[in-house]
Amino acid sequence: MRGASVVLLSFAAAVAAAGCNQTTNPGVAEARTAELARAFAPLVSLHPREQLLPMSAKSFIASSALRWRSSCGEETIAMPSSTGRAPSLESRRLGSSDPYSRASAHPPGCRKGRILATNELTRPFDPARGDALLDEEGFYLDLADNRRSGTPAATNANGPPTVQVPVYFERDVRANGKDTMVRLTYWMLFGMERRPGPKAAALTAHEGDWKWIRVLLRNPEGTDDYVPMGVRYGARTTYLPWRSVQKGAESRTTHPAVFVSRGSHDLFPEPGVYSREVVVGKRAVELRQEVRRCPACTAWRTWQDMRDARDELWHGYGGGWGESLGLGASPAGIGPSLWVNLGKDELLEPGDTG
């Protein structure tokens, strides 16, 4: 609903809007966080011809081998436990205090360098890494080819298919004068990104496609109210004021509507045809993508299955979620971790978006 007025939502109202029972101890921070996250979780619409669907992080890891990649060769660090081959891949060791580790090796001679761990930023081709690694070097989870299409959507006799996999959320809080800003980040994992068309696929294809949106709330001093300020639809966007955000049909007040482009899974606030420029070497390539709204579009009611990302055993993993299948300009995905918090001032970015 375009042009909607700002919603002033108390914690109790947030719980009711999410269809949940209010906790008997609302002062418990964890309970408040979970219910608030459900209240503002997005209603996601997938393209009707989408074949690369979401999946859970647990399923992704269970179907992957952990590998170390470098110009001196590739090494398998751990295998899926289902193969019966040791060592088996353990989620807890991806981001924990007991991580997997390997030494970097640089040609010529492949001399061993410093020891690097899976809880460091080691994603191959990641532009934010330091000089200790060559571009192609680092840890990545190699997803089994037969799992790239994700988890099939559930059929529904009374409506469109529905996605039934978890969404992962993170909550960040920062003071802003006398008020408090609350940022809710919602993470969605797809088995693979492959844009339609041979040129686009060759440039950008990769396994492990993490996408996120952020909802920014203001909590006025001395109140239990949360005023939604805006929504951000991924890293290449800025906050869209809440009054301009389309709301999901099942709740006209709290669930932002999100539309997903086919194959690339980029997130948009409304249907349309969008273009994005990708620079490969010195050449700029324009990639076009279509976003639809339709009765048959697969629906993802993200509030129905939500997990706190920071409680997950794999949280903090800094390697690649998947293999890069295109050019180096498109590294495999990186999930919820320290390296995707875009700066301490980002909570205040929207400015006057009321």
- In this predicted model, what pLDDT tens digit does every residue of 76-92 receive, in sequence order? 999 987 776 768 899 99
Can you give the pLDDT at residue 21?
41
- Output the pLDDT for position 328: 58
- What is the value of pTM for the model shown? 0.87
* CA 344/CA 110 separation, integer angstroms: 39
Encoded tokens for 138: 């680092």
pLDDT < 50: residue spans in the chain: 1-5, 15, 18-28, 342-345, 350-354
Q: Are 322 and 189 in contact (CB under 8 A)?
A: no
pLDDT at 150: 94
pLDDT, residue 141, reads: 96
Residue 127 half-sphere exposure toward CB, CA atoms < 13 A? 3
In the prediction, which pLDDT does 134 show? 77
User: Rounded CA gap, 149 and 152, in Å?
Assistant: 8
Determine phi and psi for 289, rounding to 5 degrees.
-145, 145
Residues forming a β-bridge with 257:
43
* Secondary structure class of 26 (helix, strand, coil): coil
Taking the alpha carbons of 138, 141, 146, 150 in that order, is the dihedral positive or negative? negative
Letter for the amino acid at 131?
D
Consecutive H or E run containing 215:
strand 206-219
Whole-number pLDDT of residue 329: 57
**Distance between CA 185 and CA 40 in Å, rounded?**
10
